[in-house]
Amino acid sequence: MKNENGYFGEFGGIYLPSYIEKILLNLAEEYEYVKKRKAFRDELKRLYRTYANRPSLLYFAERFSTEVGCKVYLKREDLNHTGAHKINNVIGQGLLAKHLGKKRIIAETGAGQHGVAAATIAAYLGIQCDVYMGERDICAQKPNVYRMKMLGARVVAVLQGQGTLKDAIDAALENYLRVVDKAYYMLGSAVGPHPYPIMVRDFQKVVGEEIAFQLRKTEGRMPTSIVACIGGGSNALGAFYRFIDKKDVELVAVEPAGKGRLSGRHGLVLGTGVRGEIHGYKSLVMKDKKGRIKKSYSAASGLDYPGVSPELSMLKRNGRLTLGEATDKEAVEAFVKLSRLEGVIPALESAHAVAYLLKNKKKYKENDIVVINLSGRGGQGRGKCL
Ligand SMILES: *Cc1c(COP(=O)(O)O)cnc(C)c1O
């Protein structure tokens, strides 16, 4: 994929004041340098194995397969240390922060999974960590707030805006800019200005590489389809990347339809978005009639974001993605169904991908192989909040 200067076709780039652009271009250079070093790559591989518990299982879901009428495998990112794919990314960025000699990590979080992952790697590396989190998310995700504090991180409540992920990113970026020399900004998804979309995708692509290897061993062939939920797009890109050039592998991006496409309360960024600017990069974004960024919504905090990975925006424009969607209600039904049929409780985010397959099972034939990227584990309770 061509991405000089951090562009994916007409998407990506850096749209921030020039002094920040300089810092980011410098970060991009540092990253290009370390990623080629054998010591960095070896350390990344070692931590994937010894710390994150990789490779994650590729599990044949027999009873679920019978239910939908094709061969379904679950890529078990929920079994990683800290319970989601987020650990893959923070290990990479944590090693980069250490290489840069940073003394502090600043991160944002939605559902709290990235915050927990960032706090975890910060503890491992012995670096101070501040996590910015919307007030509404703090209320809904108490167990993750507890975990972050247990790990020694400072959780900063963000009161502005809707008190969700977008506002947390706004506040985290604002605070980061005051301490850029000392701090490393650890972004949790394949979004944001260059070089984050490239870095995060690079640290997540191990997921798809493992899927290809594991399926070759068990089935001797490529999957028919890979299905993943879309928040910022990191678990999806991680699972898809290995297969982008394999044109007969269908890549299904499942977005949160929230209370329904027609209600206007959803997060269908690839599905309904237009080209625009958010958090310092260009991508498909949700806009209102006046051209302002529109509120997104999903019951799954991790999917509630009005922007998306610029690389996924490009893949959508190029016709490489199959778009899917699932409402809150469909995701909850899928959550219960997978739990009861397989004894695997998915994150509500991941349940959107499961719901897609339940809704579209007629599309697939008995011998088709569908891999669902089970991005994280669920069932740890959420509060009822505004
Ligand atoms: C954060 C998160 C997501 C959404 O983020 P992506 O960058 O789109 O992957 C999805 N599932 C889980 C379990 C998460 O923690």
Q: Is residue 384 part of a domain?
A: no
Q: Is residue 380 part of a domain?
A: no
pLDDT at position 385, please? 65
Q: Is residue 383 part of a domain?
A: no
Q: Is the model's pLDDT at 382 over the cut of 60?
A: yes
Q: Is residue 382 part of a domain?
A: no
Q: 79 C-alpha vs ligand 1 centroid, how far in Å? A: 14
Q: Is residue 2 part of a domain?
A: no
Beta bridge partners of 373: 75
Please classify residue 367 by burial: count the beta carbons closer than 10 Å to its beta carbon, then call 0-12 exposed, 13-18 middle and 19+ buried.
Answer: exposed
241 contacts 3 by C-beta, under 8 angstroms: no
Would you say the CB of residue 80 lies under 6 angstroms from ligand 1?
no
237 contacts 380 by C-beta, under 8 angstroms: no
Q: What is the pTM of this model?
A: 0.96
**Do 145 and 237 sit in the same domain of this protein?**
no
Here the CATH number for the domain that contains residue 132 is 3.40.50.1100
- Residue 9: name the closest of 348, 337, 370, 315 by CA: 315
Residue with tokens 């899917």: 324
At 265, the pLDDT band (50, 70, 90 cuts) reads very high
- Residue 229: name the closest of 362, 334, 330, 372 by CA: 372
The ligand 1 atom nearest the CA atom of 376? 13
**Do 134 and 211 sit in the same domain of this protein?**
no
Q: Provide the domain limits for residue 98.
A: 7-47+86-200
Residue burial 217-237, b: 16+ Cβ < 10 Å; e: rest: eeeeebbbbbbbbbbbbbbbb
Residue that is last in its domain, among 183, 200, 217: 200
Q: 279 C-alpha vs ligand 1 centroid, how far in Å? A: 18
| pLDDT tens digit sequence for 44-66 | 999 999 999 999 999 999 999 99
Would you say the CB of residue 207 lies under 6 angstroms from ligand 1?
no
**Do 135 and 157 sit in the same domain of this protein?**
yes
3-state helix, strand, coil in the chain (%, to 5): 45, 20, 35
Please tell me the distance from the alpha carbon of residue 52 to that of residue 63, in angstroms, as a whole number. 28
**Do 17 and 101 sit in the same domain of this protein?**
yes
**Do 255 and 358 sit in the same domain of this protein?**
yes
**Do 259 and 310 sit in the same domain of this protein?**
yes
Would you say the CB of residue 118 lies under 6 angstroms from ligand 1?
no
pLDDT at position 1, please? 37
Please tell me the distance from the alpha carbon of residue 320 to that of residue 369, in angstroms, as a whole number. 19
Write the residue with the smallest CA distance to atom 14 of ligand 1. Answer: 302
pLDDT at position 18, please? 92
pLDDT at position 384, please? 61
**Do 224 and 250 sit in the same domain of this protein?**
yes
Would you say the CB of residue 302 lies under 6 angstroms from ligand 1?
yes
302 contacts 272 by C-beta, under 8 angstroms: no
Q: 234 C-alpha vs ligand 1 centroid, how far in Å? A: 7
Write the residue with the smallest CA distance to atom 4 of ligand 1. Answer: 231
| pLDDT tens digit sequence for 120-133 | 999 999 999 999 99
Please tell me the distance from the alpha carbon of residue 305 to that of residue 288, in angstroms, as a whole number. 14
**Do 346 and 235 sit in the same domain of this protein?**
yes
Residue that is last in its domain, among 169, 200, 231: 200
**Do 123 and 174 sit in the same domain of this protein?**
yes
The domain total for the chain is 2
Q: Is residue 243 part of a domain?
A: yes
Q: Is residue 71 part of a domain?
A: yes
Q: Is residue 36 part of a domain?
A: yes
Would you say the CB of residue 376 lies under 6 angstroms from ligand 1?
yes
**Do 232 and 103 sit in the same domain of this protein?**
no
Residue that is last in its domain, among 142, 167, 200: 200
Residue 110 Cα to chain centre, angstroms? 11
The catalytic residues are 86, 108, 375
Q: 114 C-alpha vs ligand 1 centroid, how far in Å? A: 8
Q: Is the peptide bond before 306 cis (omega within 30 degrees of 0)?
A: no
366 contacts 70 by C-beta, under 8 angstroms: yes
Residue 303 CB partners (closer than 8 Å, separation 6+): 229, 230, 231, 255, 256, 267, 349, 352
**Residue to substitute in 77, 78, 82, 86 for testing ligand 1 pocket (most ligand atoms within 8 angstroms of CB):** 86
